[in-house]
């Protein structure tokens, strides 16, 4: 039996690998760019998990993980096999399986890192949706872009203490001022409020214009949060627009529906 500290370190590394594989899967589902093909990452996650389980002497669990690994490897879609959410968004079947096994192990070997972020930023923002629209906390759902900005930023500040409100990007001729900056993860966030179908084109133009200005050696990742009062455009469509417009995969749109 290996030391508990080493088990915790291995679990932490596996968790990070799963998040990376999931992010690559999302990008690949949109772009089909082989550079972000997640197959090798997902397979590595399975091998990491098998190593951990074997080291713990959990023979039955090892058999279950091995069975899922072989099934994923031998199916027609391989590690790229996808399922869909009720909204029609694809997600990795293998990543879901990995997370299920990981959560089981974590019940007995918690990583005990109170300051470590256990979810990636995109998932945190998606989960925030339920809070910013909760009428038990606010008088009403967000009514404008400022409401979305202030509510989301207030929650993110609890998770990322270094968060900056409207950081300035100094450039020749013109300065740019994104809504939120998080230096610790080198990420800028911009918020958009969409209530009418006829405004979709305008917001698309704004986002594409911003991607030209929001470039800096201090910031590597860019997130656009679109809060729509009713279902107008799917998240997948926005991200396809970015890729088709030549915008790098380090820029992502997250859609929150009111």
Span between the terminal Cα atoms of the chain, in Å: 50
| Average confidence score pLDDT of the chain | 84
Segment 211-239, tens digit of pLDDT: 876 666 678 888 999 999 988 888 889 98
Return the pLDDT at 7.
Answer: 82
Q: How far apart are CA 41 and CA 38, in angstroms?
A: 5
Mean pLDDT of 34-55: 92
Return the pLDDT at 97.
Answer: 93
Q: How confident is the model at residue 142 (pLDDT cuts 50, 70, 90)?
A: very high
Residue 85 has pLDDT above 80, yes or no: no
Residue 186 has pLDDT above 50, yes or no: yes
Residue 194 has pLDDT above 60, yes or no: yes
Return the pLDDT at 214.
Answer: 67
Return the pLDDT at 111.
Answer: 54
Return the pLDDT at 193.
Answer: 95
Segment 1-19, tens digit of pLDDT: 447 778 888 888 898 888 8
Answer for the pair 224, 192: CB distance below 8 angstroms, yes or no. yes
Mean pLDDT of 139-153: 93
Nearest to 68 by CA among 40, 28, 88, 96: 96
CA atoms within 13 A on the CB side of 39: 15
Q: How far apart are CA 256 and CA 258, in angstroms?
A: 7
For 42, phi and psi rounded to 5 degrees?
Answer: -65, -40
As given in the structure block, the two tokens for residue 96 are 């879901």
- Give CA 8 to chain center in angstroms: 23
Fold of 121-257: Trna Endonuclease; Chain: A, domain 1 (3.40.1350)
Domain limits, the chain: 4-106, 121-257
For 201, phi and psi rounded to 5 degrees?
Answer: -60, -40
Segment 92-133, tens digit of pLDDT: 999 999 998 988 887 776 654 433 333 578 888 888 888 898
For the full predicted model, state whether its pTM sits above 0.75: no
């Amino acid at each position: 039996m290996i030391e508990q500290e080493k088990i915790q370190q291995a679990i932490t590394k596996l968790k990070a690998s799963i998040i990376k594989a999931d992010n690559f899967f999302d990008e690949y589902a949109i772009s089909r760019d082989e550079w972000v093909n997640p197959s090798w990452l997902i397979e590595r996650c399975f091998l990491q998990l098998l190593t951990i389980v074997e080291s713990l002497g959990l023979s039955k669990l090892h058999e279950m993980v091995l069975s899922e690994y072989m099934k994923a490897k031998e199916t027609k879609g391989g590690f790229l096999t996808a399922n869909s959410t009720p909204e029609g968004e694809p997600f990795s079947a293998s990543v879901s399986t990995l997370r299920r096994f990981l959560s089981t192990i974590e019940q007995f070997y918690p990583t005990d890192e109170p300051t470590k972020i256990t979810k990636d930023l995109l998932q945190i923002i998606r989960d925030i949706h339920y809070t910013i629209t909760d009428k038990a906390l606010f008088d009403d759902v967000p009514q404008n872009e400022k409401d979305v900005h202030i509510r989301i930023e207030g929650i993110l500040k609890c998770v990322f203490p270094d968060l900056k409100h409207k950081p300035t990007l100094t450039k020749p001729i013109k300065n740019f001022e994104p809504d939120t900056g998080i230096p610790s993860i080198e990420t800028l966030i911009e918020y958009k409020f969409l209530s009418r179908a006829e405004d979709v084109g305008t917001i698309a133009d704004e986002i594409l214009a911003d991607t030209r200005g929001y470039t800096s050696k201090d910031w590597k990742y860019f997130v656009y949060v679109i809060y729509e009062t009713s279902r107008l455009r799917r998240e997948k469509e926005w991200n396809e627009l970015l890729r088709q417009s030549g915008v790098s995969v380090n820029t992502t749109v997250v859609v929150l529906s009111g």
